[in-house]
Amino acid sequence: MRHFHFPKPLVACCAIACAAVLQCLPCSAQTVEGTTYYLPQALARFTVKVEKTVYQPGKLAVYARQYFKVDAPQQSATTYRLIGLDMTQVAVPDTAKRFTLTIDRKHSVRKVSRDRVGVLLAINADVRPDDVSPQTFTPAPRPAPLNPTDYMSEDILNAGSMAKMAELTAREIYDIRDSRNALNRGEADFMPKDGAQLKTMLANLDTQERALTQLFEGTTTRDTAWVSVDYLPRTEGREVLFRLSRWLGLVDNDDLAGEPYYVDVRDNHTASVATPADDEKKKDKNDIGLRVSVPSKITLTVGTAGETVDRFELMAPQFGVVEKLSGALFGKKQSSRLLLDPLTGAIRSIDAIEVK
């Protein structure tokens, strides 16, 4: 299962992770049947980092080979490429693992903590789920683009043809280079008084050269976008995670214009549970409907048909097993405080508490 969240162009984007709101239900607030809850399953939230490059040809691009021995493209182009990939684990309720916790006078269960979507977090404890902060991207401030007209001499501006303008502009660029070389060698007619002044003069010459050179070589602008792609692993195997086109960027998974990037799921089979004895298979009088997860470690490998981009590991409850906890842990005289891992539903800690 995959969901795409596309950002607006040139705007950093990020995936929006929902902060869980704690629901602490006292015993008096439970129904006769008890409290319904879910165990979680692991969702992989990928942050796909895509660089967009926009090329605009220069006004004098056709003369670049003649004056600078450079083959400058004469057509504008926009291209995309993958520059990074991150993954964050997010917990979502597993609807196949829905249970009801029995609340009665035989057991001391005073508080049941769930998140806002009903995933069990703790018993007899106030907890807050771990916040899954979305990855955010803040673009660096972009300097104002150079305007070549601001650096043209009167002769260049008054040139009667594009060919004449190219000739005069090329001559101006070579004059700027000669002046910079003279300063570096200490041979300029007017040498700076100190190092700071020299640095300023060289910077001004560099700016002039860049502004005029882009008339021939054009301009290239790069922007980075972060796109969130959610993937819910269910079984082992490989499937398309997303598609990226060099000319269109991220496209739909069924759009063959984009190159497919696959996610390959492998279960490491780290979850194990003891086989219950025959007498344990009988109905447990202390079964209050309390279940916890024993997750299994899985490996997600993302890449194209011929290249691996990255590998990620996570503990996935949906590949593990479910264990039953006895209601004897929550007796009338001595009870327990149970904390679960909000991402996996596994036991984080169990502490004995006195019942007052």
**Residue 211 to residue 221: CA distance in whole angstroms:** 14
Helix residue ranges per DSSP H, 186-248: 195-217
For 105, the 3-state DSSP assignment is: coil
For 230, the 3-state DSSP assignment is: strand
Close Cβ partners of 177 (under 8 Å, ≥ 6 residues apart):
209
Q: Could you tell me which residues are beta bridge partners of residue 264? A: 238, 301
Element (H, E) at 114: strand 111-114
Residue 199 is predicted with a pLDDT of: 94
- Mean pLDDT split into 10-residue runs, the chain, 356 residues: 46 35 39 80 98 98 97 97 97 97 89 94 84 70 92 95 98 97 89 91 96 97 95 98 98 98 97 60 79 98 97 98 95 92 96 86
**Residue 163 to residue 307: CA distance in whole angstroms:** 47
**Residue 48 to residue 46: CA distance in whole angstroms:** 6
Residue 281 is predicted with a pLDDT of: 56
Would you state the torsion angle of the CA atoms of residues 157, 162, 167, 173, taken in this order, to the nearest 10 degrees? 60
> Counting beta carbons within 10 angstroms of the beta carbon of residue 342, is it exposed (0 to 12), middle (13 to 18) or buried (19 or more)?
buried
What is the pTM for the complete model shown? 0.81
Residue 26 is predicted with a pLDDT of: 41
